[in-house]
Amino acid sequence: MGNHQRRDCSICTLTKQPKEYDVWECKIITPNNGKMRPSGFDSIPRLAAIRAIESYGIDVIACFSGWGGSLNNTEKILIDNEVRRDIKHTKR
């Protein structure tokens, strides 16, 4: 697991608790065409993300991914607005 580079966060400072982990979250959104993704389909982008982070000398403890994710309300609004904008541009 090696040397972990940590950044202070205001919440950790306020509670006087040491921060054990930094968690970076990335959501990839694709159209749902009703077809199942091939098994292992997410391994290539997952490995790319791991390699990119490790290229900065930061150890990756774990990486979780899968197509069962969801959007929070703010993300859903942003995506819905983007899709509407794309549809409006294609109708011109």
pLDDT for the residue 18: 58
Instruction: Report the alpha-carbon distance of residue 35 to residue 62 in Å, rounded.
Output: 28
pLDDT of residue 13 exceeding 50, the answer is no
pLDDT for the residue 77: 92
Interval 16-70: pLDDT, tens = 555 788 888 888 888 888 887 888 888 888 999 999 999 999 999 998 888 788 8
pLDDT for the residue 17: 52
Q: Where are the alpha helices (DSSP H) in the chain?
A: 10-15, 43-54, 73-90
Domain parsing of the chain, residue ranges:
10-90
Q: Which residue has 């541009």 as its token pair?
A: 89
pLDDT for the residue 39: 82
Q: Which residue has 């306020």 as its token pair?
A: 14
* Residue 6 neighbours by CB distance under 10 Å: 13
pLDDT for the residue 92: 60
Q: Is 60 helix (H, G, I), strand (E, B) or coil?
A: coil
